[in-house]
């Protein structure tokens, strides 16, 4: 084939490719814009999610703090109540011990007889349960 014919064919081919290339470029640009738009949307949503998670974490922290404070308060009240009860029981036991000692000193025979009688009854009951 002569060279000039070949050049003509190549020129025609190039001329035919130009509009196609332009269309492809336009489509590529459009696709890039779309991808950028989608990426921007994803970024915005991620930011929203991050913000929401931060708020939720803050709320959880606040709730935990309040619950901890309430629990500490209740524990304090319970501890005070137990201490009060313990003091009262100790005081009552001391008083009872003093009363018993006083009674035994004034009535030694009766006190010994009562103690021996109570022990005797418990002994009978224990033996009866074992037999």
Binding site for other proteins (CB under 8 A): 97, 100-101, 104-113, 115-124, 126-127
- Rounded least distance, CB 130 to other proteins, Å: 9
| Spacing of C-alpha 32 from chain mean position | 45
- Rounded least distance, CB 92 to other proteins, Å: 17
CA–CA gap between residue 55 and residue 41 (Å, rounded):
21
- In this complex, which beta carbon is closest to other proteins, that of residue 13 or of residue 131? 131
Q: How far is CA 45 from CA 49, 56, 84, 96, 114, in A?
A: 6, 16, 58, 74, 86
- In this complex, which beta carbon is closest to other proteins, that of residue 24 or of residue 116? 116
- In this complex, which beta carbon is closest to other proteins, that of residue 62 or of residue 102? 102
- Rounded least distance, CB 113 to other proteins, Å: 4
Is there a contact between 111 and 104 (Cβ–Cβ < 8 Å)? Answer: yes
């Amino acid at each position: 084939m002569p060279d000039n014919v070949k050049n003509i064919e190549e020129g025609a081919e190039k001329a035919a490719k130009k509009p196609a290339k332009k269309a492809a470029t336009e489509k590529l640009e459009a696709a890039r814009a779309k991808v950028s738009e989608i990426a921007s949307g994803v970024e915005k949503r991620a930011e929203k999610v991050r913000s929401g998670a931060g708020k939720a974490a803050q709320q959880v922290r606040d709730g935990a703090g309040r619950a901890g404070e309430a629990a500490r308060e209740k524990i304090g009240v319970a501890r005070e109540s137990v201490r009060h009860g313990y003091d009262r029981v100790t005081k009552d036991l001391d008083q009872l011990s003093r009363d018993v000692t006083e009674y035994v000193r004034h009535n030694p025979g009766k006190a010994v007889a009562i103690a021996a009688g109570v022990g005797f009854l418990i002994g009978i009951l224990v033996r009866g349960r074992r037999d």
